[in-house]
A = this chain, B = another copy of it.
């Protein structure tokens, strides 16, 4: 059966890597639909993403790749036709989750939304209008660790590929972060590294900036310091209050988040040493 798969390879850079990998594909009679590669000359690391089409003998292909590639090479073969499954965490703001729900509704985002989990009930009604399960996991009366543990249990019921923080307004503890390495995508409402932490629009207002923006990134254990996937800004001026910035910023936030998701969901994002390589 003809299938489409994505081969993601990364390894220490070496001569002949593209030749070796593409040869193996050729030998397997796999057609390369798209091929993107990048060598980071600072870290001397090689990255390649190949969209393949053909009849896959996966065991042999893996064996051939393992034999050919240098030690320490990572490769993953991913079914290009299987939609990724996500669980989305929210708090009270509707614009990011709303945009994802709507895009999902009309087929604009290639994703299966397994469930939405909020620490408040606020968005339950909206989510359920789209026939997606909503769970409220309140943080009231719990330590952060206790709450995150409940979250993780709820998330794990759905076995998602990725977790999306669509304006989830709480910091997640290191155990949670470690549980889902490079699998939690957050949207932060500033052009990082400016305005880290709480109330970035208020910070932006106080500083008197002329642009505001948003940053989609994988989370790590330092607040707003994870690998950046996508950023964008819009122009503002002195007439914008912090509230007006927040209102204007919503379209940037939701667009940056959904474009970042589009990349992540199509396996176009490598994470390496706290940076992303988008192929």
Chain A residues packing against B (C-beta within 8 Å): 15-16, 18-20, 22-23, 25-26, 29, 31-42, 93-95, 98-99, 101-103, 105-106, 108, 126, 129-130, 191-195, 207-211, 213, 227-233, 235, 237-239, 241, 247, 250-251, 255, 258-259, 274-278
Beyond A38-B239, A192-B209, 20 additional pairs, beta carbon < 8 A = A18-B18, A19-B22, A23-B23, A35-B37, A41-B241, A94-B105, A95-B103, A95-B106, A101-B102, A108-B247, A129-B129, A191-B194, A193-B209, A194-B194, A208-B275, A210-B230, A233-B233, A238-B276, A238-B277, A251-B255
Q: How many copies does the complex hold?
A: 4
* In the complex, chain B residues whose CB is within 8 Å of the CB of A34: 39
Q: Separation in Å of the A59 CB from the closest CB of chain B?
A: 21
Question: What separation, in Å, do the CA atoms of A31 and B92 have in the docked complex?
Answer: 36
* In the complex, chain B residues whose CB is within 8 Å of the CB of A209: 191-193, 228, 231
Task: Specify which of B22, B208, B211, B258 is in contact with A22 (CB 8 Å cutoff).
Answer: B22
Task: Specify which of B93, B193, B207, B278 is in contact with A238 (CB 8 Å cutoff).
Answer: B278
Report whether B255 and A232 are in contact in the complex, using a CB–CB cutoff of 8 Å. Answer: no
- Could you name 28 residue pairs across A and B whose Cβ atoms are closer than 8 Å? A15-B29, A18-B32, A19-B26, A20-B26, A22-B22, A22-B23, A35-B35, A35-B37, A36-B36, A38-B239, A95-B103, A98-B102, A98-B106, A102-B102, A108-B250, A129-B129, A191-B194, A192-B207, A193-B195, A193-B207, A193-B209, A194-B194, A208-B275, A210-B230, A211-B233, A235-B235, A237-B278, A238-B276
Q: Which 10 A-B pairs have the closest CB atoms?
A: A208-B275, A94-B106, A19-B22, A194-B194, A16-B26, A19-B26, A98-B102, A18-B22, A238-B277, A210-B231
* In the complex, chain B residues whose CB is within 8 Å of the CB of A23: 19, 22-23
Report whether B95 and A38 are in contact in the complex, using a CB–CB cutoff of 8 Å. Answer: no
Report whether B274 and A208 are in contact in the complex, using a CB–CB cutoff of 8 Å. Answer: yes
Q: Separation in Å of the A117 CB from the closest CB of chain B?
A: 19
* In the complex, chain B residues whose CB is within 8 Å of the CB of A251: 255, 258-259
| Contact A31:B19 (CB < 8 A) given known A106-B95, A232-B211 | no
Question: What separation, in Å, do the CA atoms of A28 and B99 have in the docked complex?
Answer: 46
Q: Separation in Å of the A103 CB from the closest CB of chain B?
A: 8
